[in-house]
């Protein structure tokens, strides 16, 4: 027979009240063990803990109302303690049954769920492979912020105030910067070269750094241009560094990346931060220099820019080191260096035969699965 709240309790007798509480707990223990199924447990929960019709709440209302006023506080504390204990027992019984059900339904002989292993994005793969080539030559990887100041992005790199690159038609400038000094105004970096400046300010030579990262320019999107793209730059500063060191380093790197049969050649160029400067071409790795559509039938592909670090850059670095309370370390009478930079997308497009740079950013799985 199911338990029901007794109506014949002598609330003036502590023994009668204690027996009523003990009977309540005993009935609860018997019924909670019999509630095996989910439906039975829900029925049990409503029967004992329902807001209005539940035995616990009905008992609290009726018994506390009937108890003499002098004993109400003491009885109320006892009844609340019993209610907390019953709630904990109900939860514990449910947790134990859930664990037993899970253990019974778990077949350890079945194979586990296999997660599909992702692969590198072609740009990530290309950048990692390029960095690995220079890491093998002893270069350390350096990183820096994508939001830069005019000083690090332009001024320290010897860009004159009226240089076209500093115009908003070419550079993405952060809004509301007019109150700042011009050299401290923020912009999205247009190359990873600011990391070269930060690294030289942070420490004296020798430095051998390879710098991968994302850059931003105010370009219209088309088949070969994007307002966001990636670069890998390099910097080597030490005593006695010459242009021959630069040529030997890049020739080795291009052979390591494209194959030992690739040749390099250098043409005079101009960059504000290097002097002398050069553009580097490699013999077409697809046709071996015979001429094909990828090299526009010239046998050569222009790949990157480079040069010897301009003395004006070293001067700007030492000036900022002094401002920061550091000793000058880049006296051009004792040290020299070279720098180079190349676009990751351009190399990836050439290596994988991609005709539209936008495909790298489209997220189209049909395109990306080709590289899996």
- Digit-coded pLDDT (tens) for 152-162: 999 999 998 88
Q: List CB contacts of 144: < 8 A, sequence separation 6 or more.
A: 189, 192, 194, 195, 198, 211, 213
User: Does 134 share its domain with 99?
Assistant: no
User: Does 128 share its domain with 64?
Assistant: no
User: Does 77 share its domain with 136?
Assistant: no
Residue 192 in any domain: the answer is yes
Identify the domain boundary among 105, 138, 162.
Answer: 105
Q: List CB contacts of 270: < 8 A, sequence separation 6 or more.
A: 277
User: Closest Cα to residue 215, out of 257, 161, 165, 280?
Assistant: 165
Q: Tell me how far apart the alpha carbons of residues 193 and 175 are, in angstroms, rounded to a whole number.
A: 23
pLDDT at 168: 66
Q: Which residues of the chain have pLDDT under 50?
A: none
pLDDT at 103: 58
Per the DSSP assignment, residues forming a β-bridge with 163 are none
CATH of the domain at 133: 3.30.930.10
Residue 283 in any domain: the answer is yes
User: Does 230 share its domain with 266?
Assistant: yes
User: Does 183 share its domain with 285?
Assistant: yes
Residue 5 in any domain: the answer is no
Domain range for 220? 122-371
User: Does 127 share its domain with 97?
Assistant: no
User: Which two structure tokens, joined as six digits, stand for 13?
Assistant: 């007798």
User: Does 172 share its domain with 100?
Assistant: no
Residue 335 in any domain: the answer is yes
Identify the domain boundary among 41, 72, 105.
Answer: 105
pLDDT at 214: 95
pLDDT at 321: 95
User: Does 158 share its domain with 19?
Assistant: no
User: Does 241 share its domain with 310?
Assistant: yes
């Amino acid at each position: 027979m199911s338990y029901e709240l007794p109506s014949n309790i002598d609330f003036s007798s502590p023994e009668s009240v204690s027996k009523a509480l003990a009977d309540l707990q005993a009935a609860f223990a018997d019924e909670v063990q019999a509630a095996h199924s989910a439906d039975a447990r829900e029925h049990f929960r409503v029967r004992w803990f329902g807001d209005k019709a539940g035995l616990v709440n009905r008992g609290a209302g009726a018994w506390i109302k009937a108890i003499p006023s002098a004993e109400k506080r003491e009885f109320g504390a006892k009844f609340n303690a019993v209610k907390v204990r019953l709630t904990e027992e109900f939860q514990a019984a449910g947790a134990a049954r859930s664990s037993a059900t899970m253990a019974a339904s778990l077949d350890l002989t079945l194979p586990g769920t296999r997660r599909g292993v992702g692969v590198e994005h072609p740009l990530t793969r290309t950048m990692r492979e390029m960095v690995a080539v220079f890491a093998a030559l002893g270069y350390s990887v350096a990183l820096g912020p994508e939001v830069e100041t005019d000083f690090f992005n332009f001024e320290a790199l010897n860009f004159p105030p009226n240089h076209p690159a500093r115009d908003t038609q070419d550079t993405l400038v952060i809004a509301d910067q007019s109150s700042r000094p011009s050299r401290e105004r923020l912009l999205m970096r247009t190359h990873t070269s600011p990391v070269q400046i930060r690294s030289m300010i942070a420490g004296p030579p020798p430095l051998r750094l390879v710098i991968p990262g994302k850059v931003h320019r105010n370009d219209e999107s088309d088949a070969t241009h994007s307002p966001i793209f990636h670069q890998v730059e390099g910097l080597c500063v030490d005593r006695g560094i010459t242009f021959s060191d630069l040529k030997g380093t890049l020739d080795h790197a291009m052979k390591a990346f494209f194959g030992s049969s690739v040749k390099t050649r250098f043409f005079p160029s101009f960059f504000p931060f290097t002097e002398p400067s050069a553009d580097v071409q490699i013999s077409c790795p697809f046709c071996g220099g015979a001429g094909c559509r990828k090299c526009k039938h010239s046998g050569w592909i222009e790949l990157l820019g480079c040069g010897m670090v301009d003395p004006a850059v070293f001067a700007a670095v030492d000036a900022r080191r002094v401002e920061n309370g550091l000793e000058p370390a880049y006296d051009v009478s004792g040290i020299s260096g070279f720098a180079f930079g190349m676009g990751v997308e351009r190399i990836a497009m050439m290596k994988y035969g991609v005709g539209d740079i936008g495909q790298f950013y489209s997220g189209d799985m049909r395109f990306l699965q080709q590289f899996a």
